[in-house]
Amino acid sequence: MVGFLIALLSGALMSIQGVFNTQVTKVTGMWVSNAWVQFSAFVLCLFIWMLTGRDSVSALWKVEPRYMLLGGVIGAGITWTVIKSMEQLGPAKAALLIVISQLIVAYLIELLGLFGVEKEPLEWRKVIGMGIALIGVAFFQWK
């Protein structure tokens, strides 16, 4: 149940962050906004790290495979794509497409066992559900 509530909070925070970042971008520009998002997240994480455990930073160099360290780079790409999609589609339409894309990619990662995730068997009900979501978006196409 806790995981369920955290996932709902995550979705809400992503939507709010997307709107905030889009508004900041209107004043500052894309890369200043993106840099601010990443920098402010870094400062918050550093502060919380100092208050809590203080896990070893050197442990990062033990991460294998090394490409797993690209989360921050991907985060900058996420920030850019969320801002651009919300700017062009509005928050609701952008969030809908983002969530559908997340579902499809996450399911493919599970099906194929990519990036160290345990491989899961194909479940047709999930494929059908995602298909219905895609058809719904295509059917109710907007400008």
pLDDT in tens, 36-58: 999 999 999 999 999 997 888 89
Please give the pLDDT value at position 55.
Answer: 87
Confidence of residue 4 (pLDDT cuts 50, 70, 90): confident
How many other CB atoms are found less than 10 A from the CB of residue 22? 20
- 46 lies in which domain range? 2-139
| Structural domains of the chain, count | 1
Q: How far is CA 31 from CA 25, 76, 91, in A?
A: 8, 9, 20
The 10s digit of each residue's pLDDT in 59-100 is 999 999 999 999 999 999 999 999 999 999 999 889 989 999
Contact 133, 100 (CB under 8 A): yes
The predicted model scores a pTM of 0.83
> Which positions ≥6 away from 21 have C-beta within 8 Å?
33, 34, 37, 79, 82, 83, 86
